[in-house]
Chain A
């Protein structure tokens, strides 16, 4: 009887220890896509993010001693499934979801109100609703690093530099070939505003989902004879566009893709038709960065790792996932500075995100100098960066051809504030007074 009591006591202690251990965890939901038409982007980005999180757990024992955990949920880039995944995972872990990366502009739109109600930060790095950069109206949404409008103005700056100055844009013709979706349409207003400002004409040509037939669109391009084409595609639309351009003889080095059109997965299927093509990026490719080397050392060398094909490590999408991981971990670290080294709630992480600074020096410490741009988020500015680099496909790999190009803030910020104010009015939101935030 005595030994039975001892055994029971032992079991109870073991259970308590396990519970304590389980409670010292920070849960990050992985609402992503690993199959379906956009799987290449989803598997690469979530692969990089998960590998980074596992590396931080293996190398540092988590963040401030708190182990990071995650669970994957497949959305197939579908809004309804994205919401379902969010609902399923938002209360997981001892403190609920840390934050959510929906990796889809459509899903981000669907989650804005839900995240606000549930107090779960919605982080959309390089996608999502642009006017959410105004943190006064969108306290729970973080389109970090750079938003679509910033990217677009940087792109026009790049085109201007190629033409010999912004004044040379007058009279030029630009065609915007876009994915006919919320994502694709997001930059139409800023392009129109820039056309007015610089005196060029812009023609918007939509491509229906998924974009595997673009003969008519490229014939229209041939008829318009533009000086430049902006390619705002996703998934299969990108290689088909490059092949379409080759078919009508449009030079590829006059096509500027957005960062969702500028990965290896977009150019390799297009073969020779992609040679010379230029695309924007908020991260660069390459596996020589210390952060990637650490992932190889602490994750892959131990027989773990998310990528079935290890040649994808260091690709554009994979490295973008590592950027997602760095931002997530640094936001948790920042929140821990204020709230303590313990599992934190979404509300506490929101503070971490809003006060996040990743300086050049910090990037160097993280082994990511030159890998991504520095970041400084505030209550007023939920973007925190805004710059992009341009890269060119040489037939085998992406070569960076510019330094960080800053956006036209004088144009973008008033548009963001105007659009956010419209949203606030529509939803009856009183914008926060950032001077009172701490």
Chain B
């Protein structure tokens, strides 16, 4: 039984890591209704830039600040060059633009920093906690627990930012209705710029944690694919939904791989979350925490 719990807890902690990536998607979708396909590439870009500065000998927190600055510039440039010219265009056009942005970011990151994998040490060892192992026989990673703590802090701050600040309320107004928000004087473009900046910050945190866990390399861009079923489950517009969706996906994929995998040849955790998400779509298309859309005919 302790093995079952070990798989379950390991899955939940992995799920928190998926949620970190999913959060970036939610932020942009909430504010602009755009599904930002480039979020995975942003994670890669941020992590590679951060590690690039570190390897140049820049002090850790200064490297963090410089990378954050780069992500702010990137966010603002995306709003100015990619999104603004597409205002009032169909959503699919904006989505396609973010696909293009993905390739640009992937290419730019490799052009600037090269295609070599890098190690990243953020001072937290990815090893089991001794006292838990001794007491329960279960291996729970220090790193995964720390990542869960960071994700919880990030979600709480973002939730407070959106509910308690002027900008947060403006953002929610924009999310509800662009035209109404504009009519009451909310600067749409400024809000979009802020949201892309915050999404860049989330991408940097996710990139640092995933980079420390797996190494900073191109495969970080594939994290976007891990975040998709999380979003379908949790809802594209909900920050708590990203967390809950991540936990469900993380736990279910690990349990499925360990307990169902051997009967079907294994290697199912790549597609199992999508099956789960598709089944969920049939029951609740808007996701667990997504807003139900009622259209008048």
State yes or no: do A and B come from one complex.
Answer: yes
Query: What residue in chain A is nearest B216 (Cβ atoms)?
Result: A269
B217 and A40 contact, CB distance less than 8 A: yes
Number of interface residues of A (CB under 8 A): 44
B266 and A206 contact, CB distance less than 8 A: yes
A216 to B110 alpha-carbon distance, docked (Å): 31
Contacts of A309 in B (CB 8 A): 114, 116
Cβ < 8 Å to B, chain A residues 14-49: 34-37, 39-40, 43
A212 and B222 contact, CB distance less than 8 A: yes
Cβ < 8 Å to B, chain A residues 174-210: 180, 204-210
User: With contacts A209-B270, A271-B121 known, is A37 near B218, CB below 8 A?
Assistant: yes
User: With contacts A37-B219, A39-B115 known, is A269 near B270, CB below 8 A?
Assistant: no
Partner of B128, one of A208, A213, A249, A272: A249
User: With contacts A34-B115, A265-B117 known, is A243 near B7, CB below 8 A?
Assistant: no
A212 to B222 alpha-carbon distance, docked (Å): 9
Contacts of A36 in B (CB 8 A): 115, 218
B117 and A40 contact, CB distance less than 8 A: yes
Asked if B214 is an interface residue, CB under 8 A from chain A, the answer is yes
What is the CB-to-nearest-CB distance from B195 to chain A, in angstroms, rounded to a whole number?
A: 27
Partner of A219, one of B10, B115, B121, B222: B10
Most buried by A among B7, B114, B220, B267: B267
Contacts of B120 in A (CB 8 A): 269
Contacts of A243 in B (CB 8 A): 126, 213-214
Asked if A355 is an interface residue, CB under 8 A from chain B, the answer is no
Cβ < 8 Å to B, chain A residues 214-232: 215-217, 219-220, 222-223
B126 and A246 contact, CB distance less than 8 A: yes
Asked if B69 is an interface residue, CB under 8 A from chain A, the answer is no
What is the CB-to-nearest-CB distance from B48 to chain A, in angstroms, rounded to a whole number?
A: 12
B267 and A236 contact, CB distance less than 8 A: no
A308 to B258 alpha-carbon distance, docked (Å): 43
Contacts of A401 in B (CB 8 A): none
B118 and A216 contact, CB distance less than 8 A: no
B215 and A215 contact, CB distance less than 8 A: no
Contacts of B220 in A (CB 8 A): 212
Asked if B263 is an interface residue, CB under 8 A from chain A, the answer is no
B217 and A247 contact, CB distance less than 8 A: no
Asked if B11 is an interface residue, CB under 8 A from chain A, the answer is yes
Q: Would you give the 0/1 interface string for B262-281, flagging 1 where the beta carbon is closer than 8 Å to chain A?
A: 00011111110000000000
Asked if A322 is an interface residue, CB under 8 A from chain B, the answer is no
Contacts of A222 in B (CB 8 A): 139
A112 to B119 alpha-carbon distance, docked (Å): 37
A247 and B218 contact, CB distance less than 8 A: no
User: With contacts A39-B115, A213-B14 known, is A248 near B217, CB below 8 A?
Assistant: no
A212 and B6 contact, CB distance less than 8 A: no
B267 and A248 contact, CB distance less than 8 A: no
A380 to B287 alpha-carbon distance, docked (Å): 61
Q: Would you give the 0/1 interface string for B88-118, flagging 1 where the beta carbon is closer than 8 Å to chain A?
A: 0000000000000000001100100011111
Asked if A273 is an interface residue, CB under 8 A from chain B, the answer is yes
Asked if B30 is an interface residue, CB under 8 A from chain A, the answer is no
Contacts of B119 in A (CB 8 A): 239, 268-271
A269 and B118 contact, CB distance less than 8 A: yes
Query: What residue in chain B is nearest A211 (Cβ atoms)?
Result: B219
Contacts of A216 in B (CB 8 A): 7, 10-11, 253-254, 257-258, 261, 269
Contacts of A352 in B (CB 8 A): none
What is the CB-to-nearest-CB distance from A419 to chain B, in angstroms, rounded to a whole number?
A: 21
A34 to B114 alpha-carbon distance, docked (Å): 9
Asked if A281 is an interface residue, CB under 8 A from chain B, the answer is no
Q: Would you give the 0/1 interface string for B216-244, flagging 1 where the beta carbon is closer than 8 Å to chain A?
A: 11111011001000000000000000000
A208 to B10 alpha-carbon distance, docked (Å): 18
Contacts of A236 in B (CB 8 A): 117, 214-215, 217-219
Asked if A235 is an interface residue, CB under 8 A from chain B, the answer is yes
A180 and B267 contact, CB distance less than 8 A: yes
Asked if A240 is an interface residue, CB under 8 A from chain B, the answer is yes
What is the CB-to-nearest-CB distance from B259 to chain A, in angstroms, rounded to a whole number?
A: 10
Query: What residue in chain A is nearest B139 (Cβ atoms)?
Result: A248
Partner of A35, one of B115, B210, B257, B269: B115
User: With contacts A236-B215, A247-B127 known, is A212 near B223, CB below 8 A?
Assistant: yes
A213 to B219 alpha-carbon distance, docked (Å): 11
Query: What residue in chain A is nearest B140 (Cβ atoms)?
Result: A247
Contacts of B222 in A (CB 8 A): 37, 210, 212
A269 and B254 contact, CB distance less than 8 A: no
User: With contacts A212-B219, A215-B10, A247-B126 known, is A239 near B214, CB below 8 A?
Assistant: yes
B269 and A213 contact, CB distance less than 8 A: yes
A239 and B117 contact, CB distance less than 8 A: yes
A215 and B139 contact, CB distance less than 8 A: no
A208 to B271 alpha-carbon distance, docked (Å): 9
Q: Would you give the 0/1 interface string for A307-346, flagging 1 where the beta carbon is closer than 8 Å to chain B?
A: 0110010000000000000000000000000000000000
What is the CB-to-nearest-CB distance from B209 to chain A, in angstroms, rounded to a whole number?
A: 13
Query: What residue in chain B is nearest A206 (Cβ atoms)?
Result: B267
Contacts of A205 in B (CB 8 A): 266
Contacts of A223 in B (CB 8 A): 3, 258
User: With contacts A269-B117, A269-B118 known, is A39 near B219, CB below 8 A?
Assistant: no
3 closest A-B pairs by CB: A269-B215, A208-B270, A206-B267
Interface residues of A (CB under 8 A from B): 34-37, 39-40, 43, 180, 204-213, 215-217, 219-220, 222-223, 235-236, 239-240, 243, 246-249, 265, 268-273, 308-309, 312
Other 11 A-B pairs with CB < 8 A, given A40-B117, A269-B215: A39-B116, A39-B218, A210-B219, A216-B7, A216-B11, A236-B214, A236-B215, A236-B219, A239-B119, A247-B126, A269-B117
What are 11 A-to-B residue pairs whose CB atoms are below 8 Å? A39-B116, A208-B267, A213-B14, A216-B10, A236-B219, A247-B126, A249-B133, A265-B116, A269-B117, A269-B118, A271-B119
